[in-house]
């Protein structure tokens, strides 16, 4: 995993865990890698992984069963989407809207671009 300097490493690890769940590599209710295992895999200090796991536990995305390990929560996918949606709406969307205003892009035009994007993804899946 290549870490960027724009975001704390523990947050990038939390995003990685969320992506594994969203992509179905780690299933809801299934055991996930231990702090030590993920630290070795990502070549980071286990304390950094522990910080990411603590963050994910606060949002109910993962749970810790003492003596057994960490597990993806029963409703992890819904909670991940909720967390990411909140982050997108509150942090990223205002920047997008500001850029749209500066460039004179109307919401209808953005809708057209989005529809083109969806069509291209659909075509990609069919081929």
Residue 74's pLDDT is 96
Strand positions, DSSP E, 48-116? 62-65, 69-72
Sketch out the chain's domains with CATH numbers: 9-76 (1.10.10.10), 77-126 (1.10.287)
- pLDDT tens string 43-82: 999 999 999 999 999 999 999 999 999 999 999 999 999 9
Q: With 0.95 as the threshold, say if the pTM is over it.
A: no
Residue 1's pLDDT is 78
State yes or no: pLDDT of 17 exceeds 90.
Answer: yes
Residue 113's pLDDT is 93
Residue 14, class by beta-carbon neighbours within 10 Å (0-12 exposed, 13-18 middle, 19+ buried)?
A: buried
């Amino acid at each position: 995993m290549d870490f960027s300097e724009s975001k704390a490493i523990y947050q990038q690890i939390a995003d990685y865990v969320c992506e594994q769940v969203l992509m179905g590599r780690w299933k809801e209710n299934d055991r996930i890698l231990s702090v030590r295992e993920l630290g070795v895999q990502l070549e980071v200090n286990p304390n950094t992984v522990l910080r990411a796991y603590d963050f994910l536990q606060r949002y109910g995305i993962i749970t810790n069963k003492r003596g057994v390990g960490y597990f993806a929560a029963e409703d992890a996918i819904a909670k991940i989407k909720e967390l990411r949606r909140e982050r997108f709406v509150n942090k990223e969307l205002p920047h997008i809207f500001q850029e749209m205003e500066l460039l004179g892009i109307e919401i209808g035009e953005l809708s057209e671009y989005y529809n083109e994007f969806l069509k291209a993804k659909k075509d990609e899946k069919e081929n």
